[in-house]
Amino acid sequence: AQRVTQPEKLLSVFKGAPVELKCNYSYSGSPELFWYVQYSRQRLQLLLRHISRESIKGFTADLNKGETSFHLKKPFAQEEDSAMYYCALRSLGGYNKLIFGAGTRLAVHP
Amino acid sequence: GAVVSQHPSWVICKSGTSVKIECRSLDFQATTMFWYRQFPKQSLMLMATSNEGSKATYEQGVEKDKFLINHASLTLSTLTVTSAHPEDSSFYICTAGLSTDTQYFGPGTRLTVL
């Protein structure tokens, strides 16, 4: 079964501390993994995707097929990073549908 | 950038009535749109895939007669919650994409059934 697991509902850190939001997945085949972010009172938006191998707003995520993980990392958290983060897997079953994890709320304190 | 709108942004209705939610891609055409449901403090659950010009594809456990989807044009998909009940109260979100790569999210519609 296709599944995305985000074990932490809340991650609370101080400004300047490193951040790692965990994401594990189960998928039979080659998955495409994404991180979406939802700031307060805003709609979800794409943060990054594994095939791009890019850094957005200081965040990076590496796909580890051996550990079936796609953890989101940032070396120095900022207050403006406070938001809800969703890890998502794209099913290749024809219609590009996304399967979301439960989400992790990141709270960065001054 | 691509913009997806939803209307209404929130709606309150009485139990037993039907509610229609619109999803529009404002500056692009989308052959496929997706409808998600989000309960408070929970993740998004895919309900159905809306295909322009054909029947929607529903996820397991989603009643197609309860949640009617119509994708009448390349810029509009509608979700009608028929005979709504309090347990249908939720946040409904649609997405649309320019291609298979990126999905853009609508702002969501909050439905409250009294």
Secondary structure, 3-state, A33-56 = EEEEEECCCCCCEEEEEHHHCCCE
Nearest-angstrom CA–CA distance, B105 and B114: 27
* CA–CA distance, B38 with B88 (Å, rounded to integer): 11
In degrees, rounded to 5, the angle at the alpha carbon of residue B83 between the alpha carbons of residues B80 and B85 is: 105
For the stretch B55-103, pLDDT in tens is: 888 998 999 999 999 988 889 999 999 999 999 999 999 998 766 567 8
At residue B97, what are phi and psi to the nearest 5 degrees? -135, 150
Q: A43 and B34 in contact by Cβ < 8 A?
A: no
Flag the least confident range among A23-32, A51-60, B9-18, B96-105.
B96-105
Query: In this complex, do A103 and B97 lie within 8 Å of one another by their Cβ atoms?
Result: no
Q: Is B37 helix (H, G, I), strand (E, B) or coil?
A: strand
d(CA B7, CA B68): 16
Q: What is the predicted pLDDT for the residue at B101? A: 63
In the predicted model, is pLDDT for residue B1 greater than 80? no
Name every chain A residue with its beta carbon within 8 A of the beta carbon of B42.
102-103
Distance between terminal CA atoms of chain B?
37
Whether B35 contacts chain A with CB within 8 A: no
pLDDT score of A18 more than 90: yes
In tens, the pLDDT along A39-64 reads: 988 889 989 988 777 888 999 998 99
Q: Which of B32, B36, B102 minimises the CB distance to A46? A: B102
Where is average pLDDT lowest: A71-75, B49-53, B106-110? B49-53
**Residue A44 sits at the chain B interface (C-beta within 8 Å):** yes
Does the beta carbon of B54 lie under 8 angstroms from any beta carbon of chain A?
no
Question: B42 and A102 in contact by Cβ < 8 A?
Answer: yes
Interface of B with A in 60-89 (CB under 8 A): none
Nearest residue of chain A to residue B101 (CA atoms):
A96
In this model, does residue A94 exceed pLDDT 60? no
Strand ranges (DSSP E) for chain A? Answer: 3-5, 10-14, 19-21, 24-26, 32-38, 45-49, 60-61, 72-74, 83-90, 98-100, 104-109
Residue B27: predicted pLDDT: 86
Parallel, antiparallel, or unpaired: how do β-strands A98-100 and B32-38 relate? Answer: unpaired
Q: State how far residue B42 is from chain A, nearest Cα, in angstroms.
A: 6
Whose tokens are 């796909």? That residue is A63
**Quick check: B97 and A96 CB within 8 A?**
yes
Q: Which of B59, B12, B68 lies closest to B36, judged by CA?
A: B59
Residues of A in contact with B95 (CB under 8 A): 98
% of residues, chain B, pLDDT over 70: 96
Q: How many CB pairs under 8 A join A and B?
A: 40
Per-residue model confidence (pLDDT) at position A67: 92
- What distance lies between CA A87 and its chain's CA centroid? 4
The predicted pLDDT at position A100 comes to 92
